[in-house]
Amino acid sequence: MIFRADKLLTQLPVPKHPSSEAAAAVQELMGGKAGEMSTLMNYFFQTINFRDREAYGPYYKLVANIAAEEWGHVELVASAINLLLTGTTTRGHDPTAAPLAEALKAHNKYQFFNAGQCALPVDSMGNYWNGSYVQSSGNLRLDLVHNFFLETAARATKLKVYETTSDPTVRELTGFLLVRGSTHVIAYAKALEELSGVNVVKLFPIPELSNHAFPEAQKYIEQGLYNTLYNFTQEDISAISQIWKGPHPDGAPDLTVTNDPIPTIADLPALPAEPQLASPAADEVEPGFVQEAARRIFGKSM
Amino acid sequence: MIFRADKLLTQLPVPKHPSSEAAAAVQELMGGKAGEMSTLMNYFFQTINFRDREAYGPYYKLVANIAAEEWGHVELVASAINLLLTGTTTRGHDPTAAPLAEALKAHNKYQFFNAGQCALPVDSMGNYWNGSYVQSSGNLRLDLVHNFFLETAARATKLKVYETTSDPTVRELTGFLLVRGSTHVIAYAKALEELSGVNVVKLFPIPELSNHAFPEAQKYIEQGLYNTLYNFTQEDISAISQIWKGPHPDGAPDLTVTNDPIPTIADLPALPAEPQLASPAADEVEPGFVQEAARRIFGKSM
Amino acid sequence: MIFRADKLLTQLPVPKHPSSEAAAAVQELMGGKAGEMSTLMNYFFQTINFRDREAYGPYYKLVANIAAEEWGHVELVASAINLLLTGTTTRGHDPTAAPLAEALKAHNKYQFFNAGQCALPVDSMGNYWNGSYVQSSGNLRLDLVHNFFLETAARATKLKVYETTSDPTVRELTGFLLVRGSTHVIAYAKALEELSGVNVVKLFPIPELSNHAFPEAQKYIEQGLYNTLYNFTQEDISAISQIWKGPHPDGAPDLTVTNDPIPTIADLPALPAEPQLASPAADEVEPGFVQEAARRIFGKSM
Amino acid sequence: MIFRADKLLTQLPVPKHPSSEAAAAVQELMGGKAGEMSTLMNYFFQTINFRDREAYGPYYKLVANIAAEEWGHVELVASAINLLLTGTTTRGHDPTAAPLAEALKAHNKYQFFNAGQCALPVDSMGNYWNGSYVQSSGNLRLDLVHNFFLETAARATKLKVYETTSDPTVRELTGFLLVRGSTHVIAYAKALEELSGVNVVKLFPIPELSNHAFPEAQKYIEQGLYNTLYNFTQEDISAISQIWKGPHPDGAPDLTVTNDPIPTIADLPALPAEPQLASPAADEVEPGFVQEAARRIFGKSM
Amino acid sequence: MIFRADKLLTQLPVPKHPSSEAAAAVQELMGGKAGEMSTLMNYFFQTINFRDREAYGPYYKLVANIAAEEWGHVELVASAINLLLTGTTTRGHDPTAAPLAEALKAHNKYQFFNAGQCALPVDSMGNYWNGSYVQSSGNLRLDLVHNFFLETAARATKLKVYETTSDPTVRELTGFLLVRGSTHVIAYAKALEELSGVNVVKLFPIPELSNHAFPEAQKYIEQGLYNTLYNFTQEDISAISQIWKGPHPDGAPDLTVTNDPIPTIADLPALPAEPQLASPAADEVEPGFVQEAARRIFGKSM
Amino acid sequence: MIFRADKLLTQLPVPKHPSSEAAAAVQELMGGKAGEMSTLMNYFFQTINFRDREAYGPYYKLVANIAAEEWGHVELVASAINLLLTGTTTRGHDPTAAPLAEALKAHNKYQFFNAGQCALPVDSMGNYWNGSYVQSSGNLRLDLVHNFFLETAARATKLKVYETTSDPTVRELTGFLLVRGSTHVIAYAKALEELSGVNVVKLFPIPELSNHAFPEAQKYIEQGLYNTLYNFTQEDISAISQIWKGPHPDGAPDLTVTNDPIPTIADLPALPAEPQLASPAADEVEPGFVQEAARRIFGKSM
């Protein structure tokens, strides 16, 4: 079970230029095969399906704690999309002014027609996220190999989305996710290493480009987010240090586990109402309008 | 963001007779259109996409709090499936004994071939859960109507799954879910009522059969789970009482909101290892077996 | 646009033995790639998308008229499924008696969990019918080749479903559909023949087995259903005789077009209520039950 | 069964500017979750699967009659798409002139590559309509709640598509559908009201914007289309007035049922041939071209 | 089993202007319903599933040989896509320069986010190729009718993709595929003709436009590719001449079978590295960068 | 491009007892996420999309050669399914004898209704294989990590399918595939090792059970199939020995590359005709039957 907090994992800036193009692309980080819904759901199922938890306690705790962090990653991606979309249409009450003209040009039409200029569980091509993206074989080594692959693929996608634009919202999002996603790459590598003695961590980074090449990642690296596993549970997670320990493969300080929350927690961004999308409500054009219109059409006998 | 607790929402009994048939059917409550993944993901997206949170605070808190409870429902369904599957195969290390013969008869083969006799994000026909099951239009009334429908459809499915078997695990699961799911039906009805003045709650129960007809539901009703919204967040949720108030439509005490957690919290069930499924690991047949086998085949020159 | 009549295209007998197994198989004729939803939707889209209707009037009328007949075929398949399912569970009001035990054994669980022991738009494996099964290229020859293929594939499936069982409902259904579907095979062959001069009709029958080998088909052949195109519209369709004319390729009388309706029209079968599935409603266990149960649990202070 | 008429439900103007952008967006009204294929197929299955028709006659007739009307809505959406696409490419016989250059820019490439610049059963993102969008539980109240939700979601989508453009074809289409779809919203609300005594109709309109705010809707409101259920069957439907009665929730005259057809019936729009798409046929470049080309290539010995 | 050769079936020119628009469209020839993956997989399954190979030897050999050719067609389509994409982004090592800005405008975002500016098994709308596109009924006539339809539909798509652009890569690709695909249309027509005596070949060409109308097809026609079946196996295929014989329906020389390979075989095009996509590797920004960056951030104590 | 040989990679025994149950399960090895279609298609796309082939020659050759071997694996799985299904129905010409009664019990109904008791591109639950199972990022390390995961997951599935039955066809199939699939696991591990210096091969075997525990694998191990990469191309593949070299991680002789073909090549199994499925043809019930039946029905005037 979980307890929700009304917070984002980090603060996202407002876009310089709202962009339905960027919002469509960022959906790959949401509903793509290697998007944040996939990481969340993979670790969720691996956690609840874990057999012989006692014998493999630190591994169980590791996967369970990362699962809980991923909820926050999904929220962060959604919030970035929502910020990018706010301001792409003409705010107002008059449907005849074609306020949603942008929807005709938008690559992701669901964000307008099915949502109120907001995120949905689809990828950058509008394909819905689906459960075939979940691996939960029960074999610990196999699932860890999968997770190492998944986080590595996710890192590649984040890196590419970063490269599409100089918009600060997209860059802040991907800068943060590159750092935290990389800790998950390393964590699954460390877990495999602990089980097998193979130095899997040395494969990091894949792709080969270091996180240090991304300016927006620097403050997170400096705050310790690159080498620290924070606690996203109500349990003591210090046993994870049996896995998460030793030197960092990309030059950050040594790996460390803490029972503290992640230090970057921020408020949710404000999302103003969009009356032209009836989100959360569509005001009537003016008070009494309906009655007056009906009177004009049908006369006073009504 | 969330904080995870290593607990289930209620205690599930061990099945009288492990049953791959029942486990296949219960997947409808997991990955079906009206399964618990759907309720979780619908309210998750409606929460993070909520526009003008300030103006509609109690509605926002209501949806956000129910979203967080649904995580626990998904865990509960998964745990029931896992318990039903444990014991359906021959536990052991010898692959030649056909220990997975049950998989040939099983209706859900993924539970064996892709998982370690465990739950996956599919429905009772093996179709993967997908994001098209999520409604998040941003229009509050529309989404509330949807949620009222979704929870009502979920209630119908739970009722039918209950009726398939007398197995105590299935009945405890569905007894609990009928009670808690019904509070969500009523909650969304109350929210529509508060917005519109229409007495939507009087539509409850749909289907018409009362929860009082299900013996396993009684203890939950008596504990207050039928008329109380518990806190699944780290926030003060008492503002929800602006919506969740008044008489109960099915004869339970008056509706009440609390900042306390749900009182039925229980430990996770034990899930023993299944070596024939290599979950979490497959022991070698015997120590030194590989070396000896290789020696026999290739001779001492190796 | 259409005008609906509250009739089936032919009368279906009640099954000797209700059978969820047969009902699951017959879904292939509903939602399969070559099922009746596919024929309906293919011809629907080809009709509304038809370019240069004036120049190709008889072809347009032919496709449009067959589209309208297919609606009745879909109804017929659904009715057969519904009849096969009625009686597979224990009718009654008590959920604790496990009245839906059959659902655990059923191959198509959606028929129980999502429907009230009724048909749904899925195929024999529970995969949903989808729009990728529709061909509507606009090129008349290409679409006619497709339709000839589709009806031939549909004929093969009907033939195989016939061969699965001696149940009279299944055999009446497939006997009727083999005859009428074959007229559609021949019709598209004739249309290609008229356009190209190639004697495509001589390819009939595919598969090679004649409809005369199916006893249930005989009365339909004798009534003229094998060689007559009936009118399923409000228009004069006699221009279709520019295409539908000449000798029958399987020994029935010469092809003929009529503005009369099909002569086998019958009433819809009765479908009794299934209270255990709450279809169309679930009676309360007994009047006053809820109040009494609540009184016992919560005492008189309520 | 049905009888088809070669008519549209209303007359659609020719677009001012053909637009593949608008045509791609309008597909949401065709194959979207809340598009017209969904409404058609939902009510089709609910009708044929209806149990205990005798006890619930007016409800059965209501759903069956609306199902039949929806066929006409699907035709109307398809026709609007086809009109929007006609003229977006270069009409002619020369493939080397790149006549389909527009297809490279088009958001819905299927309309060009798989159809002859026409509609297909997909939504605005090119996802195929599928049977998971159909709810047919058999429980009358549950299915009515669903239908109320579905029509409300459909209304929201129509409203948004209206807002994307000032093109007269799109506005006429959505103006008509807003009015008729709203009668279906109200009809299902009335049915729930009749069953339960709850004044569900007062929830209308959702989204909150009245149909009176859409100029193109006015003539339909004045003609009675906002408050009248017309007959789309060959049966007497006057029993529906047990449900469809009383005041209109948006200021139109009182609700009324008629056995007359809808008064706006119009001819199908002309769809000229598109030779560059070979729809319905591709002329040879010039007579004798093939023979001459072959002679040039292979010499006279052929 | 197969033996792979490191060759393309013909040489593709480098595009005049790299174009993500054209690359997105050409995906229809890859993963579309009638794309080359479909032809490959249909004939693959029909070959391995062929019953009574002895009695129908030439038919078996025909299908098996075409299956093997299709592998080369899929490679050709992929190579065209890859050439079209090379050069659409800014090659280099600096992620902050937004080198993938093109991805925001691209219609197929998977080519950038999931591939290294390369082809994937999706169609022009980003829908994944899937196994429902495979017909393998086992009935020879039925499968031949299907194949005749499939190749005809494929021909229509190739013709349309040709018409979208004057880019030489696209035209060379479609010119070649029109010729070779047409031999497959004719081959399946001939096979049906041999089985039934019906002159199916006379239906060719569908669509009606002759391959002679496409300038890029001429050299292939002159080289014999329009009337020759080449050997794509290690077997003697001369028995196919029992089917593939007689006059050509579009004015090429008489049909002929050879045990020689296709004469147009060419080298694979060069695909340079794309470091900004980390394909095949991403260089670090500069040697020692990581260590220096870490030193700056964390000081010398590391 | 490829050249096909009319051979299987190894000889499969005829089943002791034909079994639609086993045939349904083996489909997981065909169309499952980690089935042989996935391995074939992943390496196919990685090969044709490979950038900078010159710089990474041995890696390119390795992936290309394994891709070609996978075609033979898919054939092998299909042949096993086809053998398991042959004999599950009543062979003959009389449709009224219900010869396909087995189809009602069969878990995979497509094998009967859509195929002639043969394999199709679906998995063990009837879900179609689809292109989302393909990873082709272009980044060599990432794709190698993926391939290592994919082959490991495939190994787990093969191991489980082995454990479902003692049928000799299933065991021979999985015994062979465990050995050859394991060489692919090791190959991708070696490739990663060569690129990074990390001893990834030491992770083998995953799951932990050695191939030596499977009796049917022994003869293949003894023949060298566990430690040899054979040539499935027309090229010289000896450069692969820069990767595939050194000791075997599971006690077989040292790794070796050869330009010889795999030594186990065998003939395709015989697949007799199934007339009741019209595969490859359905005889008419008796000569002259159609004419006589028609005469009896319609009289001599025909």
pLDDT per residue over B65-93, tens digit each?
A: 999 999 999 999 999 999 999 999 999 98
**Given the DSSP bridges, would you call strands E266-267 and F228-229 parallel, antiparallel or unpaired?**
unpaired
Q: Is A187 left (phi over 0), alpha (psi -120 to 50) or beta?
A: alpha
Nearest Cβ partner of E202 from C196, C203, C207? C196
User: Chains touching chain D at 3 or more Cβ pairs under 8 angstroms?
Assistant: A, B, C, E
Yes or no, beta carbons of C127 and B127 under 8 Å apart: yes
Per-residue pLDDT, A286: 57
| pLDDT one-digit tens code per residue, B165-195 | 999 999 999 999 999 999 999 999 999 999 9
User: Under 8 Å CB-to-CB from C287, ≥6 apart: which residues?
Assistant: none
Q: Is the pLDDT of residue D54 over 80?
A: yes
Write down the ipTM of this complex: 0.96
Yes or no, beta carbons of C137 and D117 under 8 Å apart: no
Q: Collect contacts of B87-91 with beta carbons under 8 A, ≥24 apart.
A: B87/B15, B87/B18, B88/B18, B88/B19, B88/B20, B88/B23, B88/B117, B89/B117, B89/B274, B89/B276, B89/B277, B90/B276, B91/B274, B91/B275, B91/B276
pLDDT category at F116 given cuts 50, 70, 90 is very high
Which residues of chain C lie closer than 8 angstroms to B252, CB-CB?
294, 298
Burial letters E175-206, b for 16+ CB under 10 A, else e: bbbbbbbbbbbbbbbbbbbbbbebbbbebbbb
Per-residue pLDDT, F93: 87
Q: Which helix (H) or strand (E) holds B7?
A: strand B7-8
Q: Is the pLDDT of residue D39 over 80?
A: yes
Nearest Cβ partner of E136 from F115, F141, F277? F115
CB-CB contact of E149 with C206 (8 Å): no
Nearest Cβ partner of B4 from A53, A68, A132? A68
Which residues of chain A lie closer than 8 angstroms to E298, CB-CB?
222, 251-253
Tokens of A275: 């009356």
Which residues of chain E lie closer than 8 angstroms to F45, CB-CB?
78, 118-121
Per-residue pLDDT, E302: 47
* Burial class of residue F204 (count of CB atoms within 10 Å of its CB; 0-12, 13-18, 19+): buried
Q: Which helix (H) or strand (E) holds C206?
A: none
The reply to whether E198 touches chain C by the CB within 8 Å rule is yes
Q: Position E69: which residue type? A: E
CA distance E101 to chain A (A): 4
Which residues of chain E lie closer than 8 angstroms to D103, CB-CB?
25, 160, 163-164
Which residue in C30, C81, C160, C219 has the most chain F C-beta atoms within 10 A of its own C-beta, making it the best mutation to test that interface? C160
Backbone angles phi, psi at D154, to 5 degrees: -65, -40
Q: How many residue pairs bridge chain A and chain B with CB atoms within 8 Å of each other?
A: 244
Task: Give the span between the Cα atoms of D271 and D277, in whole angstroms.
Answer: 13
Which residues of chain E lie closer than 8 angstroms to F120, CB-CB?
45, 131, 134, 136
Per-residue pLDDT, A171: 98
* Burial class of residue E301 (count of CB atoms within 10 Å of its CB; 0-12, 13-18, 19+): exposed
Question: What size, in residues, is chain E?
Answer: 302
Task: Give the span between the Cα atoms of A33 and A42, in whole angstroms.
Answer: 11
The reply to whether C259 touches chain D by the CB within 8 Å rule is no
Yes or no, beta carbons of E118 and F132 under 8 Å apart: no
Q: Position E229: which residue type? A: L
Q: Which residue(s) pair with D6 in the sheet?
A: none
Task: Give the span between the Cα atoms of C276 and C93, in whole angstroms.
Answer: 6
Q: Is the pLDDT of residue A168 over 60?
A: yes
Task: Please give the DSSP secondary-structure letter assigned to residue F7.
Answer: E
Backbone angles phi, psi at F118, to 5 degrees: -145, 175
Per-residue pLDDT, F298: 84
Angle at F177 between CA F175 and CA F180, to 5 degrees: 115
Q: What residues 42-81 of chain A have any CB closer than 8 A to a CB of chain B?
A: 44-45, 48-53, 55-56, 64-65, 67-68, 71-72, 74-75, 78-79
Chains F and A touch (3+ CB pairs under 8 A): yes
Yes or no, beta carbons of E51 and F139 under 8 Å apart: no
Yes or no, beta carbons of F278 and C208 under 8 Å apart: yes
Which residues of chain B lie closer than 8 angstroms to C100, CB-CB?
160, 163-164
Per-residue pLDDT, D302: 47
Task: Give the span between the Cα atoms of F292 and F302, in whole angstroms.
Answer: 11
Tokens of F175: 């015994």
Yes or no, beta carbons of A282 and D209 under 8 Å apart: yes
Which residues of chain C lie closer than 8 angstroms to F126, CB-CB?
125-127
The pLDDT tens digits along chain C (302 residues) read 999 999 999 999 999 999 999 999 999 999 999 999 999 999 999 999 999 999 999 999 999 999 999 999 999 999 999 999 999 999 998 999 999 999 999 999 999 999 999 999 999 999 999 999 999 999 999 999 999 999 999 999 999 999 999 999 999 999 999 999 999 999 999 999 999 999 999 999 999 999 999 999 999 999 999 999 999 999 999 999 999 999 999 999 999 999 999 999 999 999 999 999 999 998 655 556 666 777 777 875 44
pLDDT category at D11 given cuts 50, 70, 90 is very high
CA distance E143 to chain C (A): 9
User: Chains touching chain C at 3 or more Cβ pairs under 8 angstroms?
Assistant: B, D, E, F
Task: Give the span between the Cα atoms of B136 and B147, in whole angstroms.
Answer: 10
The reply to whether A149 touches chain F by the CB within 8 Å rule is yes
Q: Treating both helix axes as pointing N-terminal to C-terminal, what angle do C20-31 and C36-48 enclose, rounded to 10 degrees?
A: 20
Task: Give the span between the Cα atoms of A232 and B212, in whole angstroms.
Answer: 38
**Given the DSSP bridges, would you call strands E228-229 and F228-229 parallel, antiparallel or unpaired?**
unpaired
pLDDT category at E93 given cuts 50, 70, 90 is confident
CB-CB contact of A5 with E89 (8 Å): no
To the nearest whole number, what is the mean pLDDT of chain D?
A: 95
CB-CB contact of D11 with D266 (8 Å): yes
Q: Is the pLDDT of residue A31 over 70?
A: yes
The reply to whether E192 touches chain F by the CB within 8 Å rule is no
pLDDT category at E295 given cuts 50, 70, 90 is confident
Q: What residues 86-115 of chain C have any CB closer than 8 A to a CB of chain D?
A: 114-115
Task: Give the span between the Cα atoms of E256 and E224, in whole angstroms.
Answer: 9
CA distance C251 to chain E (A): 17
Q: Is the pLDDT of residue B302 over 50?
A: no
Q: Is E291 left (phi over 0), alpha (psi -120 to 50) or beta?
A: alpha
Q: How many residue pairs bridge chain C and chain F with CB atoms within 8 Å of each other?
A: 107
Task: Give the span between the Cα atoms of D91 and D278, in whole angstroms.
Answer: 10
pLDDT category at D203 given cuts 50, 70, 90 is very high
Task: Give the span between the Cα atoms of D136 and D42, in whole angstroms.
Answer: 7
Per-residue pLDDT, F294: 72
The reply to whether A281 touches chain B by the CB within 8 Å rule is yes
CB-CB contact of A229 with A187 (8 Å): yes
| pLDDT one-digit tens code per residue, D102-140 | 999 999 999 999 999 999 999 999 999 999 999 999 999
Backbone angles phi, psi at C175, to 5 degrees: -60, -45
Nearest Cβ partner of A273 from B51, B134, B272? B51
Yes or no, beta carbons of D302 and E213 under 8 Å apart: no
CB atoms within 10 A of CB E116: 29
Which residues of chain A lie closer than 8 angstroms to B52, CB-CB?
271-273, 280
Q: Is the pLDDT of residue B29 over 70?
A: yes
**Residue E100 to residues A162, B178, D126, E186, F98, Cα–Cα distance (Å):** 9, 50, 24, 44, 61
CA distance A199 to chain B (A): 20
A201: nearest CA partner in chain F: F198
Question: What size, in residues, is chain B?
Answer: 302
Yes or no, beta carbons of A235 and B5 under 8 Å apart: yes
User: Chains touching chain F at 3 or more Cβ pairs under 8 angstroms?
Assistant: A, B, C, E
Angle at F62 between CA F61 and CA F65, to 5 degrees: 80
Per-residue pLDDT, D292: 73
**Residue C80 to residues B91, C16, C102, F114, Cα–Cα distance (Å):** 44, 13, 19, 21
The reply to whether F148 touches chain A by the CB within 8 Å rule is yes
Task: Give the span between the Cα atoms of B220 and C281, in whole angstroms.
Answer: 25
* Half-sphere exposure of residue E280: CA atoms within 13 angstroms, side-chain side: 21
Tokens of C211: 């409809």
| pLDDT one-digit tens code per residue, B205-215 | 999 999 999 99
Q: Which residue(s) pair with D122 in the sheet?
A: D128
| pLDDT one-digit tens code per residue, A105-146 | 999 999 999 999 999 999 999 999 999 999 999 999 999 999
Task: Give the span between the Cα atoms of F110 and F91, in whole angstroms.
Answer: 18
Q: Would you list the DSSP string of A74-124?
A: HHHHHHHHHHHHTTSS--SS-GGG-TTHHHHH-S-THHHHTSSS---SB-T
Q: Position C106: which residue type? A: A
Which residues of chain E lie closer than 8 angstroms to D276, CB-CB?
163
User: Helix H segments across B5-53?
Assistant: 20-31, 36-48
User: Taking the alpha carbons of B59, B63, B69, B73 in that order, is the dihedral positive or negative?
Assistant: positive
Tokens of D129: 């309509």
Per-residue pLDDT, B290: 62
User: Helix H segments across C32-167?
Assistant: 36-48, 57-85, 101-105, 110-113, 140-162
B116: nearest CA partner in chain F: F160
Task: Give the span between the Cα atoms of B62 and B47, in whole angstroms.
Answer: 9
User: Chains touching chain A at 3 or more Cβ pairs under 8 angstroms?
Assistant: B, D, E, F
Q: Is the pLDDT of residue F300 over 80?
A: no
Nearest Cβ partner of C139 from E135, E148, E206? E206
CB atoms within 10 A of CB D133: 22
| pLDDT one-digit tens code per residue, B244-277 | 999 999 999 999 999 999 999 999 999 999 999 9
Which residues of chain A lie closer than 8 angstroms to D214, CB-CB?
95-96
Q: Is D86 in a helix, a strand, or coil?
A: coil
CB-CB contact of C42 with D271 (8 Å): no
Q: What residues 162-191 of chain B have any CB closer than 8 A to a CB of chain C?
A: 162-166
Task: Please give the DSSP secondary-structure letter assigned to residue A133.
Answer: G
Which residues of chain B lie closer than 8 angstroms to A120, CB-CB?
45, 131, 134, 136
CB atoms within 10 A of CB D110: 28
| pLDDT one-digit tens code per residue, E21-32 | 999 999 999 999
Tokens of F246: 């050194």
Yes or no, beta carbons of D32 and A278 under 8 Å apart: no
Q: Treating both helix axes as pointing N-terminal to C-terminal, what angle do E57-85 and E20-31 enclose, rounded to 10 degrees?
A: 160
CB-CB contact of D265 with D11 (8 Å): no
Task: Give the span between the Cα atoms of F120 and F82, in whole angstroms.
Answer: 10
The reply to whether B149 touches chain A by the CB within 8 Å rule is no
pLDDT category at B299 given cuts 50, 70, 90 is confident
**Residue C15 to residues C79, C165, C274, Cα–Cα distance (Å):** 12, 11, 17
